[in-house]
Amino acid sequence: MPVITNDLLKKINPVMDQLQPGSIRAFDEQVSEIEDIIKLTLGEPDFDAPEKVKAAAIASVENNESHYAKTPGNIALREAMAAFLSRKYDLNYEPATEILVTLGATEAIQISLATILEPGDEVIIPTPTFPLYESDVISLGGVPVFVNTQPDGFVLTPERLAATLADHPTAKCLVFNYPSNPTGVTYTATQLEALANIIKQYDVFVMSDEIYSELTYTQQHVSMAQYLPEQTILISGASKAYAMTGYRIGLLAAPAALVKHITKLHQYAVTTHVNSAMAAATVAFNECDDEIAVMRDAYQTRREMLVHAFTDMGLTVASPDGAFYLFIKIPAAFGDDDFKFAVTLAQEAKVALIPGSSFGPGGQGYVRLSYAASEAKLNTAVERIRIYLEGMKKREGEQYARI
Amino acid sequence: MPEISATLLNRINPIMDTLKPAAIRAFDAQVSDVPGIIKLTIGEPDFDAPAKIKAAAVASIKNNESHYGKTRGSLALRQAISDFLRRKYELDYSADSEIIVTVGAMEALETSLRTILKPGDEVIVPTPGYPMYLSILKSLGAVPICVNTAVNGFKLTPQQLADELYHHNAKAIIFNFPSNPTGVTYTAKELAELAAVMQQHDIFVLADEIYSEFTYADHHVSLAKYLPNQTILVSGASKAYAMTGYRVGFVSAPAPLINEITKFHQYTVTTHINSSMAAATVAFNECDAAISLGD
Ligand SMILES: Cc1ncc(COP(=O)(O)O)c(C=O)c1O
């Protein structure tokens, strides 16, 4: 039991005090104690990784691929990623120089921001969004500039972007995530092109986190890199589409001159990725389009069931175009207090959803539901929420009757 | 083939231009094309990982352990590391609060240094040493104070350390033994004397003991035995168990420090890979005999 003195502990990097452990995981752990709770909290596929993918990982272990891999990742995997980006999104990236394999999209996001940011640099972050971006920016001494997209149906409009860039002309980077965690909203080709035309007028990087690109239900995904390849750092990975979160495969694609720099920080951070995970991901990107389609269909069925059920209960949801999230407006009785609603729902209905304010400005008054969970679980959750809301209405009615 | 504009490329953090890819790996890649070359360049065991370790990785994959692991690593692995540290080096670290599993010793070093250093902080680095220490410090804007140990048979002496600490208001010392590149290590008595000097200052000591299982004369003694309250102990499974490619490292340190390091670990990688962690659990628990085969 080593015990550090307070004097020494005070000497750590002062930025540490501003950094909080992930609030989503914290809330998840808090409600996990409640007996019989159904948790729709985490953004993690409930499927197992495809059999072919597992077989490739096993073969790699058995073939003693236990030595250091190449720093940017196996070339076979980088080729598979380039082919995937070309086949699916019509993008043209050179495997040898323009693609880097990272420990999840998480690492790709961190080392990209660390490469471009100096202390004091502004980063434009449309919200509500995945909280990691803010944490990374703050930890690097950068300054997040939040743009609340709630008034526009959780879509960043060209007008709002133009105004933001005019106010912050020296911003270093714009973080863009779609299909969005937590709202599920995505962008059409026309919308993207309009945004790209504005971004082009500035020397600003766009970090486009498209990790959910394979999970769209209303349209084919179009990448920001199609309109703005020179400025885009494209982030993706195998976690969500292939149900491989635990394999920690991230993908970064960008101009070679930038990848060269980012690779240095990758080397300092982790040296290189794990061989068996890379072997698995190579098969995923090369051979698993059909497996993705099966999982996407399952998400789509759940999504339709849920949208129908919540509309029926009189609740509205943000346009559920992609990913596996529904962003649900909480009942008027709770006002904007999504935290109170989420806690009450967890305690009384035994269904756990994440309070929307965890995702930044514009998230208040909403909760996020992850439908990366079995249909049976989702059906039970819906029933519990319905019964709880009916009970709530009845109690309200009785209160009125007493007055 | 996206092309970035020169003006935009100019806007990246100016530190990046001063950073180099690891010199050792660059040199290794450069000479790899020489026909008939025999390379003794990379610090990597030539053994394959023991069969038990591989079997554990395979079982984890087959059992569909394909979801996010716990942020600090599986409790089973942290327990195995805690037991290993007690059994081998008589150290007392709690699996619950004083150990975090990292992606190699490299992530352990990087996240630990990032947790304690802000730009401008001075760090004492005995040299010759592992070049990545200097690279990481540079990337964080910290200032290395290199202390040449060649004059003392590649050992840092208590007097030398005391002098440096007198002249510099250093935040930390990076202390690696057995040493890469010299192979030199320290006796219990030498460590106790150095620890006595370190104790007089509010400094962190990053003890990189990744080669601890490779001592051929005396049994390895950890700095943490003499200086537990200031030591950030970095090690891993890479070298001892011939499993570099599994990328399993760890940090053990006082609980409040582990809490802070955990934040950066989460931001950098979220968590480790389950099959690697399952393999390393077996390594730390059951493979003491395999290590001594490397004699
Ligand atoms: C928008 C977004 N980006 C990145 C990630 C992290 O993905 P990975 O597991 O590949 O690090 C997530 C996971 O929740 C996410 O929602």
Confidence of residue B295 (pLDDT cuts 50, 70, 90): very low
Report the DSSP pairing between strands A143-148 and A173-177: unpaired
Does residue B51 belong to the interface with chain A, where contact is any CB pair within 8 Å?
no
CB of A56 within 8 A of CB of A62?
Answer: no
Which of B7, B115, B269 minimises the CB distance to A103? B269
pLDDT tens digit sequence for B166-205: 999 999 999 999 988 888 899 999 999 999 999 999 999 9
Q: What pLDDT was estimated at residue A290?
A: 96
Q: Is residue B37 part of a domain?
A: no
Any atom of ligand 1 within 6 Å of the Cβ of B270: yes
With a cut of 90, say whether residue B214 has pLDDT above it: no
Q: What pLDDT was estimated at residue B11?
A: 87
Which of B64, B92, B245 minimises the CB distance to A1? B92
CA A239 to ligand 1: nearest atom: 10
Among A12, A18, A141, A102, residue whose Cα is nearest residue B114? A12
Instruction: Please list, in sequence order, all residues whose beta carbon lies within 8 angstroms of the beta carbon of residue B101, skipping any fewer than 6 positions away.
Output: B72, B73, B74, B77, B78, B81, B248, B249, B250, B272, B277, B280
pLDDT tens digit sequence for B98-123: 999 999 999 999 999 999 999 999 99
Which of A13, A66, A93 minimises the CB distance to B115? A13
pLDDT tens digit sequence for A111-122: 999 999 999 999
- Our mutation pick for probing the ligand 1 site, out of A130, A136, A186, counting the most ligand atoms within 8 A of Cβ, is A130
pLDDT tens digit sequence for B248-273: 999 999 999 999 999 999 999 999 99
User: Residue B106 belongs to what domain range?
Assistant: 97-271
Q: Is residue B141 part of a domain?
A: yes
Q: Is residue B126 part of a domain?
A: yes
CB of B160 within 8 A of CB of B147?
Answer: yes
> Closest residue of A to B169, CA-based?
A11
The domain locations on chain A are 6-48+290-390, 62-288
Q: What pLDDT was estimated at residue A201?
A: 96
Q: What pLDDT was estimated at residue B26?
A: 67
Q: What pLDDT was estimated at residue B40?
A: 67
What single-letter DSSP state applies at residue B118? -
Mean pLDDT of A10-21: 85
Considering only the top CATH level, what class is A62-288?
A: alpha beta
Percent of chain B with pLDDT over 90: 71
Which of B13, B246, B263 minimises the CB distance to A16? B263
Mean pLDDT of A290-301: 95
CB of A114 within 8 A of CB of A135?
Answer: no
* Gap between the Cα atoms of A92 and A83, Å rounded: 9
* Gap between the Cα atoms of B79 and B89, Å rounded: 15
Any atom of ligand 1 within 6 Å of the Cβ of A249: no
Mean pLDDT of A356-368: 97
Q: Is residue B229 part of a domain?
A: yes
Confidence of residue B294 (pLDDT cuts 50, 70, 90): very low
Q: How far is the CA of A178 from the centre of ligand 1 (A)?
A: 11
Q: Is residue B89 part of a domain?
A: no
Residue B288, judged by CB atoms within 10 A of its CB (0-12, 13-18, 19+), counts as middle
Mean pLDDT of A51-55: 96
Mean pLDDT of A342-361: 96
Amino acid residing at B202: D
Any atom of ligand 1 within 6 Å of the Cβ of A183: no
CB of B194 within 8 A of CB of B156?
Answer: yes
* Gap between the Cα atoms of B249 and B105, Å rounded: 4
Which chain A residues are within 8 Å of B115, Cβ to Cβ?
12-13, 16
With a cut of 90, say whether residue B140 has pLDDT above it: yes
Which chain A residues are within 8 Å of B256, Cβ to Cβ?
4, 9
pLDDT tens digit sequence for B46-101: 778 889 999 999 999 999 998 888 899 999 999 999 999 999 999 999 999 999 99
Does residue B176 belong to the interface with chain A, where contact is any CB pair within 8 Å?
no
CA A130 to ligand 1: nearest atom: 1
With a cut of 90, say whether residue A164 has pLDDT above it: yes
CA A107 to ligand 1: nearest atom: 11
Does residue B1 belong to the interface with chain A, where contact is any CB pair within 8 Å?
yes
Q: What pLDDT was estimated at residue A211?
A: 98
pLDDT tens digit sequence for B148-160: 999 999 999 999 9
Mean pLDDT of B140-145: 96
Q: Two tokens at B278?
A: 């399952």
- Give the residue from A274, A275, A278, A283 with the most B CB atoms within 10 Å of its CB, the best one to mutate: A274
Q: Is residue B86 part of a domain?
A: no
Higher pLDDT, A21 or A218: A218
> Closest residue of B to A67, CA-based?
B245
**Rounded to two decimals, what is the model's pTM?**
0.93
Q: What pLDDT was estimated at residue A384?
A: 98
Helix axes A51-62, B274-286, angle to 10 degrees: 40
Q: What pLDDT was estimated at residue B39?
A: 66
Confidence of residue B29 (pLDDT cuts 50, 70, 90): low
The H or E element spanning position B250 is strand B248-252
Q: Two tokens at A290?
A: 């059909």
**Residue B205, domain CATH:** 3.40.640.10
> Closest residue of B to A29, CA-based?
B70
Strands (DSSP E) found in B7-153: 99-103, 122-127, 143-148
Which chain B residues are within 8 Å of A32, Cβ to Cβ?
none
Any atom of ligand 1 within 6 Å of the Cβ of A237: yes
pLDDT tens digit sequence for A225-253: 999 999 999 999 999 999 999 999 999 99
Confidence of residue A26 (pLDDT cuts 50, 70, 90): confident
Q: Is residue B24 part of a domain?
A: no
Q: What pLDDT was estimated at residue B218?
A: 74
How many H-runs (helices) and E-runs (strands) does chain B carry?
A: 12, 7
Tell which phi-psi region holds residue B44, choosing left (phi > 0), alpha (psi between -120 and 50) or beta: beta
CA A249 to ligand 1: nearest atom: 10
CA A106 to ligand 1: nearest atom: 11
Any atom of ligand 1 within 6 Å of the Cβ of A105: yes
Q: How far is the CA of B159 from the centre of ligand 1 (A)?
A: 50
Sheet containing B248-252, strands listed edge to edge, beginning at the edge strand earlier in sequence: B99-103, B248-252, B231-236, B204-208, B172-176, B122-127, B143-148
Helix, strand, coil percentages in chain B from 3-state DSSP, rounded to 5: 45, 15, 45
Average pLDDT, chain A: 95
Q: Report how many domains make up chain B.
A: 1
Fold of A6-48+290-390: Aspartate Aminotransferase, domain 1 (3.90.1150)
Which chain A residues are within 8 Å of B61, Cβ to Cβ?
54, 57-58, 61, 276, 280
Q: What pLDDT was estimated at residue A29?
A: 81
Any atom of ligand 1 within 6 Å of the Cβ of A130: yes
Percent of chain A with pLDDT over 70: 99
